[in-house]
Amino acid sequence: MTFQSLLVCKDEQATAVLTPVLAGFGLGVQCCGYPDALCRLTEQKFDAVIVDYDDPHSAALVLQNAYQSSAPHKTVTVALLGDRAKVRHVFGAGANFVLYKPISQPQAEASLRAAMALMKRERRRSFRVPVQLPVRLRVENGAEMEGILLDLSEDGLDVLAAQPLCPAAIISAHFALPDQGTEMDIRGEVAWANPNGESGVRYIDLPDNLRQTLKAWVVTNAAEFLPEDPEPVSECKLTDLSLGGCYVETESPFPERSGIVLCLRVEDMEVQAEGMVRVMHPEFGMGIQFASGTAEQREHVGSFINFLTSRPGTLPQLLITPRALAAVNDQDYRRSKASDEPEDLLLGLLNRADSLTQEDFLQELRQQRSSEEVASS
């Protein structure tokens, strides 16, 4: 299964570096200018769009068109930027990754390694296995109705309901997986709906056991068509940690708002926690907020922290794997603070990251780190 990229760039040095790097990751490469790019995006689907920001207005139009033309399959976008001071503006325009010019081969490989992992993940997430199954549906605060399940994926399903559903409606779906008989009770949100009753539903608050069951079923029934699972980013250093989040230094950070899974391994033990990237500093690191919207997620975060604090001096292996280009459910990251719970300074900093330059953010991070070291000594 091939991946396709569109390189919109007139910089000969950048093109000469990027073309073999993209090919090395198994990406087909089409090179063109800005006007041609807008036409190609209406005619073809690309897994990645890389655009030079030497003309900010034209580059922003390319990013906008890449986003609009990619639904429901999400395109990973990369901006080539000469002025580092404008990185927040470029992220705001829709870039997932930024490569600073002049571009070197190691720099490009580090950033595109994370981008490639996301492309593979998005391809797996969007792959749907056709089925024909009876399903019982219930709209929140409404009556139950019959329906037919048309296809299944790791993160959603298509259904033909007896009555049309409304976009954004919260529903529950009950069905049995074919060949297994496993009963599935799933809560979801209607992403799109047609007047004939066909709707696309994305899962919300999906327990880990059901997520793993669905993932295994999709892999079993579509293994020959699926791309391989993305390799985790392993060159990581955990520098800051709180109950609400952490900061990780890595040359291959994931984009802001992407969903990720952190895995700590030492000896024969392993612990995982879900998170969402709140701030990404290209080529340097990322700030991650832990998911804690459910009791199960809070338990995982607690295990993650206890694992580290109970082993002073131990350096576990840290692996970070993408779960989605955009974290599916913001509810997972909303939790009221208990009255006796201390303020989480790191989480507060992550929530203010949009208004800070990389230098200001890292300066505050160092100050927090110094304050904690003084308090604990």
Together in a domain, 8 and 110: yes
- The last residue of one of the domains, among 196, 222, 248, is 222
* Domain annotation covers residue 196: yes
Tokens of residue 275, six digits: 């998170």
Place of tokens 């599916």: 328
* Domain annotation covers residue 149: yes
Q: In this model, does residue 228 exceed pLDDT 80? A: no
Together in a domain, 336 and 217: no
- The last residue of one of the domains, among 193, 222, 251, is 222
CA atoms within 13 A on the CB side of 47: 24
Q: Which residues constitute the domain of residue 352?
A: 237-376
Together in a domain, 98 and 184: no
* Domain annotation covers residue 109: yes
pLDDT for 243-258, tens place per residue? Answer: 889 999 999 999 999 9
- The last residue of one of the domains, among 222, 256, 273, is 222
Together in a domain, 161 and 249: no
pLDDT for 342-355, tens place per residue? Answer: 788 999 999 999 88
Q: Comparing 144 with 339, which gets the higher pLDDT?
A: 144
* Domain annotation covers residue 232: no
Together in a domain, 195 and 264: no
CA distance 14 to 7: 10
Res 59: pLDDT: 94
Q: Which of 326, 322, 276 is nearest to 297 (CA)?
A: 276
Res 329: pLDDT: 61
pLDDT for 117-163, tens place per residue? Answer: 988 888 777 778 889 999 999 998 888 899 999 998 888 899 999 88
Give the bridge partners for 271, in sequence order: 264
pLDDT for 47-79, tens place per residue? Answer: 999 999 999 999 999 999 888 775 555 889 999
Res 377: pLDDT: 44
Tell me the percentage of the chain whose pLDDT exceeds 70: 91
Q: Are 313 and 226 in contact (CB under 8 A)?
A: no
Question: Stretch 91-118: mean pLDDT, rounded?
Answer: 93
CA distance 116 to 97: 11
Together in a domain, 139 and 165: yes
Together in a domain, 144 and 115: no
Q: In this model, does residue 214 exceed pLDDT 80? A: yes
Together in a domain, 252 and 362: yes
Q: Comparing 294 with 106, which gets the higher pLDDT?
A: 106
Together in a domain, 111 and 34: yes
Tell me the percentage of the chain whose pLDDT exceeds 90: 49
Res 1: pLDDT: 54
Question: Stretch 91-107: mean pLDDT, rounded?
Answer: 93
CA distance 88 to 27: 27
* Domain annotation covers residue 328: yes
CATH number at residue 58: 3.40.50.2300
Helices marked H in the chain — which ranges? Answer: 12-24, 34-43, 56-70, 87-92, 105-126, 208-222, 295-309, 345-351, 358-376
CATH number at residue 213: 2.40.10.220
Together in a domain, 14 and 63: yes
* Domain annotation covers residue 259: yes
pTM: 0.78
* Domain annotation covers residue 230: no
Together in a domain, 205 and 291: no
CA distance 217 to 106: 38
Q: In this model, does residue 23 exceed pLDDT 90? A: yes
CA distance 57 to 78: 15
Q: What is the mean pLDDT of the chain?
A: 86
Q: In this model, does residue 360 exceed pLDDT 60? A: yes
* Domain annotation covers residue 228: no
Res 61: pLDDT: 94
Res 175: pLDDT: 92
Q: In this model, does residue 311 exceed pLDDT 50? A: yes
Phi and psi torsions of 199, nearest 5°: -145, 150
Q: How many domains does the chain have?
A: 3
If residue 78 lies in a helix (H) or strand (E), which one and from where to where? strand 76-81
